[in-house]
Amino acid sequence: MRSAWWITTCLLAVCLGVPASAAAYEKDDFLAPEGKARIVFIQNQRVDRKMTFTVFESDRRCVAEVGGREAQVLDVFPGPYIFYVQGYNDTRRIELFPMAGRTYFIRLHTVTKPMGAVPEVTLVRRESEEHMRLRVSLEGALVTQSRDNEKCYARPLKERENRTNRRLNEANGDWKNGDDAYRDKYTLIERDGLTRQDIALF
């Protein structure tokens, strides 16, 4: 069934003279620039296309707003980072230790639970099952740059300060009260990043 859909999509693209959605990105889009690491926030599930995730730092400034079917790119210098990812009313704290020359992928999506759709953050580790599925996760994604979003990047969040403080306190509380397995789930270390050779195999 999937192969039939793919063939139909490609034929339509050729006949209409438009690119197939699966070709919305090039491998080079994910290569880290010289001296920096590249972080890619992926929100690409069709079911989440009307949802927006907001990534911000502890200074309450926005880092990225990822909505629709995007793969949003953020280039950073090496060093530890703490980000907070908000979807609906849930906020997750994540920690990253990026290495120059490597690319780190973070999936922003929902999971279905008895109470309904719940936002989740999945960190992609090198040579993990999520790494093997990256091509599927990225299929049809529109690559954008977080710094191009003038309404978000480096600006204060568009909400009352006390609400942002509550989000920070809850996320930090979950981090502090969680066990080692919880903190590991939301941490990416240097070797988790994909090398240029890894990306060439997409």
Contact predicate 107/122, CB 8 Å = yes
Instruction: Please state, in angstroms and rounded to a whole number, the distance separating the CA atoms of residues 174 and 87.
Output: 16
The pair of structure tokens assigned to 90 is 């849930």
The pair of structure tokens assigned to 181 is 């397995």
pLDDT value, residue 18: 35
- Cβ-count burial 90-111 (b if 16+ within 10 Å, e if not): bbbbbbbbbbbbbbbbbbbbbe
pLDDT value, residue 24: 66
Q: What is the pTM of this model?
A: 0.85
pLDDT value, residue 189: 97
| Torsions phi, psi for 200 (to 5 deg) | -65, -20
pLDDT value, residue 46: 77
Instruction: Please state, in angstroms and rounded to a whole number, the distance separating the CA atoms of residues 105 and 193.
Output: 8
pLDDT value, residue 117: 76
pLDDT value, residue 50: 78
Contact predicate 179/116, CB 8 Å = no
Instruction: Please state, in angstroms and rounded to a whole number, the distance separating the CA atoms of residues 182 and 184.
Output: 5
The pair of structure tokens assigned to 6 is 């793919």
Along the 202 residues of the chain, how does pLDDT read in single tens digits?
Answer: 444 433 333 433 333 333 334 446 889 999 999 999 999 999 987 778 778 999 999 999 999 999 988 999 999 999 999 999 999 889 999 999 999 999 999 999 988 877 777 889 999 999 999 999 999 999 888 999 999 999 999 999 989 999 999 999 999 999 999 999 999 999 999 999 999 999 998 8
Instruction: Please state, in angstroms and rounded to a whole number, the distance separating the CA atoms of residues 99 and 122.
Output: 19
